[in-house]
Chain A
């Protein structure tokens, strides 16, 4: 019966293509929307991915890692005094403007690392040396910064080139790879003291204190201890990532926008596939009735329809997911659009497609079960 079902399906080429297209389009819309959402969400906590530290200590009012509420310089020492702290170093983070030699300005995320240890330095240096950051007026620029700051230049900006941050010279000594920031500006790394000089002067300049626990102390225990003893907010890396993610979910329209795309994709897929599949069943009513008259049970006919719907769903889903992967690969090559296709997305979309094909099949099955096989004699 399976072969008969498949030949009936493949034989009606127009309907078959339409069904596949409906599922493909739904898969494409849903997975692309969710992948963009996940990609965009990873951008929100890029600082946490680019500056690796087990524990982040911040002002008690800070809710996410892009929120800058400066601490007092003495807070680093207060954190160091908490039992179980292996090390605690200051970190500066700010949005600054880079002025190029041609007079144009570009926004960038300035990160100031601890002068002595350079803890939190980028792990993927693709040109130059991290140690050169100890030389005067030096910075490390990320690869996206090379692209952005090279706009309007004859040759790409590189090691040895100079630009200005708040009228102070910044000389590039290394190029690194980073994860893109949500604000869209490239990352520039320098030492804490130099970053403080680059940034407009404020009474308090310390953004975060990066902390590691001593052996035998868990990140969670130490974070709780720091919060309790200093009154500051202390997050483990994982907790700060989650807090940042959730903050953007709660406080921005991103989930609604993406959710709308996903729901539209689901509805379009369900409507196109359901309608086409039902029309396929209607057109084949006489043949199903003949099969019924010849002794095919309702269960056999239902399994035929389920098989047809499942095959369409499987092919459409595979095609859609393949197209999204190709699209995502090209978007990532461009580097300007967030995109993260996770297996969870594939699973969620797969489940949605399954729901679509089951709904489509159910309409057909109900029609066939209610079918009076005597219509073949009319």
Chain B
């Protein structure tokens, strides 16, 4: 049975001031459940990434409440949010954001090091995570020596290494070819099924829609509709490549 992992209520966010002010999120409500892979889709500029940033606690909302794993992020100070993120959230970015001078294992160990684990222990766990994503023979590779798909798998390992209950992904497949995109989505599916995890994927890559358990469609700063299962998703979004 799924439980609510993210609950966003009447969130507002605008950028700019005066006449240049643009309202990006307009009293947006959104929920995501644990144990499910939820996709947040919509056209460019509809506010998907802004909503993801607010859920991640990396961007402050102008109003509304943001609850992740039962904790109100909008009332926490910066340090508490940082600690909350370090413990509970894993991130997968569109541009991978691997540190180019660190090896794959070192990159993956970063969330554990942030939590205070020793380098040796962190790297040992990082190697296990890399094995999980099928890169056990690439632990000492620098990002520049790996393909885009491999780099994104390293990023997935980094997001999972500290076993967070929530994974937030921003366009994880948009820089990848279809084969690597499929591989990444399969890993994210696998991650969802482990530990009753909540995986939230912001995307506009319709090739990945078939991996979603649930889909929220956004338009003009609001959730337009929520598609609750794969048949419903398939009805509105015929399978891509």
A: which residues have CB within 8 A of B? Answer: 1, 3-4, 7-8, 10-12, 286-287, 289-298, 300, 372-374, 376-378
Contact = CB atoms under 8 A, between A and B. Distances in A.
A287 B56 CA distance: 17
B78 interface: yes
B125 interface: no
13 contacts: A1-B114, A3-B119, A4-B106, A8-B101, A289-B97, A293-B58, A295-B84, A295-B89, A372-B58, A374-B53, A376-B91, A377-B94, A378-B49
B119 A295 contact: no
B79 A297 contact: yes
B86 A298 contact: no
The 5 A-B pairs with the shortest beta carbon distances in the complex, nearest first, are A11-B101, A295-B86, A374-B53, A290-B97, A373-B58
B111 interface: yes
Interface in B67-120: 78-79, 82-87, 89, 91, 93-95, 97, 99-102, 106, 110-111, 113-115, 119
B170 interface: yes
B82 A295 contact: yes
A8 B99 contact: yes
Contacts of A298: 78, 82
A7 B91 contact: no
Contact of A4 (B79, B93, B100, B110): B110
A293 B86 CA distance: 8
A286 B95 contact: yes
Contact of B58 (A1, A11, A376): A376
Interface residues of B, number: 32
A107 to B, nearest CB: 62
Contacts of A12: 101
B85 A376 contact: no
Contacts of B113: 1, 3-4
B156 to A, nearest CB: 14
Contact of A300 (B78, B87, B89, B114): B114
B192 to A, nearest CB: 20
A298 B114 CA distance: 12
A257 to B, nearest CB: 44
Contacts of A1: 113-114
A166 B86 CA distance: 88
Contacts of B79: 297
A378 B15 CA distance: 14
A373 B170 CA distance: 14
Contacts of A286: 95, 97
B114 A287 contact: no
A7 B83 contact: no
A294 B78 contact: no
B79 to A, nearest CB: 6
B146 interface: no
B101 A294 contact: no
Chain A facing B: main interface SS: helix
Contacts of B95: 286, 376
Given A8-B99, A296-B82, A291 B110 contact: yes
B183 interface: no
B10 interface: no
B93 A377 contact: yes
A10 B101 contact: yes
B110 A294 contact: yes
A374 B58 contact: yes
A294 B58 contact: no
A293 B101 contact: no
Given A1-B114, A294-B114, A374 B59 contact: yes
Given A4-B106, A7-B106, A376 B114 contact: no
A291 B113 CA distance: 11
A296 B97 contact: no
B85 A293 contact: yes
B170 A295 contact: no
B52 interface: yes
Nearest to B155: A290
Contact of A293 (B83, B91, B115, B119): B91
Contacts of B94: 377
A4 B85 contact: no
Nearest to A10: B101
A126 B119 CA distance: 62
A291 B114 contact: yes
A373 B93 CA distance: 12
Contacts of B87: 295
A289 B87 CA distance: 17
Contacts of A3: 106, 113, 119
B159 to A, nearest CB: 9
Give the most central of B52, B79, B102, B115: most A CB within 10 Å.
Answer: B102
Contacts of B106: 3-4, 7
- Residue of B91, B99, B106, B111 most packed against chain A (CB within 10 A): B99
Interface in B162-216: 170
B82 A377 contact: no
B86 A294 contact: yes
Contacts of A290: 91, 93, 97, 99
B93 to A, nearest CB: 5
B93 A294 contact: no
Contact of B49 (A4, A11, A377): A377
Nearest to A296: B114
A238 B110 CA distance: 61
A8 to B, nearest CB: 6
Nearest to A7: B101
Contacts of B119: 3
